[in-house]
Amino acid sequence: MAGDNRSLHIIHCDLDAFFAAVEQNDNPELKGKPVIVGGSAGSRGVVSTCSYEARKFGVRSAMPTARARRLCPQGIFLPVRMHRYLEVSRQVFAILSDYTPLIEPLSIDEAFLDISGTQKLFGSPEDIGREIKQRVKSELGLTISVGISYNKFLAKLASDLEKPDGLCVIPHEKALEMLRPLPVTKLWGVGEKTRQALEHLGLTTIGDIQDLPPGWLMERMGPSGQHYWELARGIDRRQVITHEERKSIGRETTFPDDVDDMLLLQRTINAFAAELCRKLRREKLYCSTVTLKLRYNSFKTVSRSKTIAPSHADMVIDEAAQELLRMSYSGSPPLRLIGLSLGKLSAVPDWEQGDLFAETSKYEKLDMLMDQICQRFGSQVIRRGNQLNHRGD
């Protein structure tokens, strides 16, 4: 379906307070109570999701758990049970797939649907939205907010306007009117820095942007300015993408206490490299960039990248990451977080592997043997020497 099509063919589905709702559904005693799911306050954890009862106290997702506990001391704090949320998510997506094969997941609790051509089978877009809501509620005991419009931006906006348990439609003829009074932060991609930049230009509402002549915002903000101007006028040409090629994988950790111990940092990278490379080999992928992320105790964050020949070998990736660490960190100030990501992923066929991949192939048999042992007996049963701790266990 063309991006400028004005028919109501895009649905955005967003489960309400998903993690907390699953916990309340699994344990009825929690219903109606302020449930907060996330990391513990003592380990610098953050809130993953909270129930609407907790939101009345000012608790929000991504807030430090310690602050959430101060705002809502009577809250019920629970750890993340990702395996359970994934199980329920699969059940929700199974329901969605009954209405169209064109589904673009945004996360485990959110997705776009393109219902072009399915309305003769299931009725109007509103009928489909209502039926999805009814099935999710009756079959899984959860509420889901549904937004319907003629493009992705407006469908996502619609699902947010009447949360929780909402069903909102933004037709073409009412789009500009509905957008006009909303703050600029409702535009997809406008965060705090962009909000400040727009306000510096005297633009606080979407209507302010609608009134600008074409090209005015692009002259001042570049291509992103044109993007925001188009969204403000209800224009979004993006299609629902059902299979998007994975571009990178990563792993990071926030330390319980600030760290300046180089040996601990090196071994953390060792572990990350081994874990990520196992994933690459399992999916028959190679990476061509290695990126190290460091966040200091001042919250300043830096990233450094290195390009390598396509590889999924532990030793090759670890060597590149350790080089980035040596180049980027001298032992002070202490670090709050460290992360490793592997990018430019590709599936390299066997016939392309020659001298270019000599470093990878040199370790291939050992890596594959270790993978087999870990798969059978667990990931901790065998480790390389550079992953042993200070006591040499």
d(Cα 118, Cα 103) in Å, to the nearest integer? Answer: 13
**Shared domain check, 259 and 136:** no
**Judgement on whether residues 102 and 34 belong to the same structural domain of the protein:** yes
What is the number of structural domains in the chain? 3
Q: 312 and 279 in one domain?
A: yes
- 7 and 103 belong to one structural domain: yes
Q: Are residues 149 and 4 in the same domain?
A: yes
Compare 255 and 6 and report the one with higher pLDDT: 255
Give the domain CATH number at 315. 3.30.1490.100
Residue 309 and residue 359 in contact, taking contact as beta carbons nearer than 8 Å: yes
Tell whether 206 and 305 lie within a shared domain.
no
Domain end call among 145, 172, 199:
172
| Predicted confidence band of residue 384 (pLDDT cuts 50, 70, 90) | low
Q: What angle do CA 100, 104, 109 make, to 5 degrees?
A: 100
Find the catalytic residue in 110, 177, 245, 364: 110
Beta-strand runs (E) in 163-229: 167-170
Predicted confidence (pLDDT) at residue 37 exceeds the cutoff of 80 = yes
Instruction: Report the pLDDT averaged over residues 316-324.
Output: 95
Residues 25 and 124 in one domain: yes
* 23 among known catalytic residues: no
Q: Which of 130-134, 220-224, 323-327 has the lowest mean pLDDT?
A: 220-224
Predicted TM-score (pTM) of the model is 0.66
Tell whether 319 and 261 lie within a shared domain.
yes
Domain span at residue 214 reads 180-232
What are the structure tokens assigned to 45, written together? 């954890």
Q: What integer pLDDT is reported at residue 310 of this predicted model?
A: 86
CA of 112: how far to CAs of 11, 14, 172, 268, 286, in Å? 6, 9, 18, 37, 29
Q: Indicate if 354 and 283 belong to the same structural domain.
A: yes
Judgement on whether residues 191 and 43 belong to the same structural domain of the protein:
no
pLDDT digits (tens, 9 = 90+) for 329-373: 988 899 999 999 999 888 754 333 443 344 444 555 555 555 554
- Give the pLDDT score at 31: 96
Whether 243 maps to a domain, the answer reads no
Whole-number percent of the chain with pLDDT over 70: 85
What is the distance between the alpha carbons of residues 15 and 136, in angstroms, rounded to a whole number? 9
For residues 227 and 254, state if they share a domain: no
- The CATH number that applies at residue 46 is 3.30.70.270
Query: Is residue 325 predicted with pLDDT exceeding 50?
Result: yes
- Answer yes or no: is pLDDT of 79 > 90: yes
Residues whose CB falls within 8 Å of the CB of residue 302, separated by 6 or more in sequence, listed in order? 293, 294, 328
Residues 263 and 381 grouped into a single domain: yes
pLDDT confidence of 1, banded at 50, 70, 90? very low
